[in-house]
């Protein structure tokens, strides 16, 4: 099964700054998914990252605020730009655990606190 490494695990950021979260998978995957989990809330899909093409963003999320890179089949980054306290959340990278299993496997998450 996939192993996902996510960095940083947590960070405290100042308002107006940007932070890039890295996600490394130990096997090649077609799609990588970025989720946000606000404090005490459910998981919301931000975007789907495909290698070699622009990420597909869900309603309410835009590329200028959450630019995503996907340079190869094992790596992706999510940047949270111009942060405000409302961006304080856990950001989770995920992949499908095995071909056509349907199961999403999540990284440990990156807990961001914006002051």
Partner 1 sequence: GENVEQHPSTLSVQEGDSAVIKCTYSDSASNYFPWYKQELGKRPQLIIDIRSNVGEKKDQRIAVTLNKTAKHFSLHITETQPEDSAVYFCAASPHYGQNFVFGPGTRLSVLP
DSSP secondary structure letters along 38-70: -TT--EEEEEEEETTSPPEEPTT--TTTS-EEE
How far apart are the C-alpha atoms of 69 and 58, rounded to whole Å? 16
How far apart are the C-alpha atoms of 15 and 81, rounded to whole Å? 10
Rule CB under 8 A: say whether 73 interacts with partner 1: no
Rule CB under 8 A: say whether 107 interacts with partner 1: yes
Site track for partner 1 across 52-71, x = CB under 8 A: -------x------------
Rule CB under 8 A: say whether 75 interacts with partner 1: no
State the number of binding residues for partner 1 (CB under 8 A): 22
Name the residues that contact partner 1, by CB under 8 A. 31, 33, 41-45, 48, 59, 92, 96-97, 100-109
């Amino acid at each position: 099964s996939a192993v996902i490494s996510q960095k940083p695990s947590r960070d405290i950021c100042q308002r107006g700054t940007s932070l890039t979260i890295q996600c490394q998978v130990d096997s090649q995957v077609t799609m990588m998914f970025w989720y946000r989990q606000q404090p005490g809330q459910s998981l919301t899909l931000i975007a789907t990252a495909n290698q070699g093409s622009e990420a597909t963003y869900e309603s309410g999320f835009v590329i200028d605020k959450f630019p995503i890179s996907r340079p190869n089949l094992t790596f992706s980054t999510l940047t949270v730009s111009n942060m405000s306290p409302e961006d304080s959340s856990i950001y989770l990278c995920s992949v499908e655990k095995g071909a056509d299993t349907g199961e999403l496997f999540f990284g440990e998450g990156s807990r961001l606190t914006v002051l």
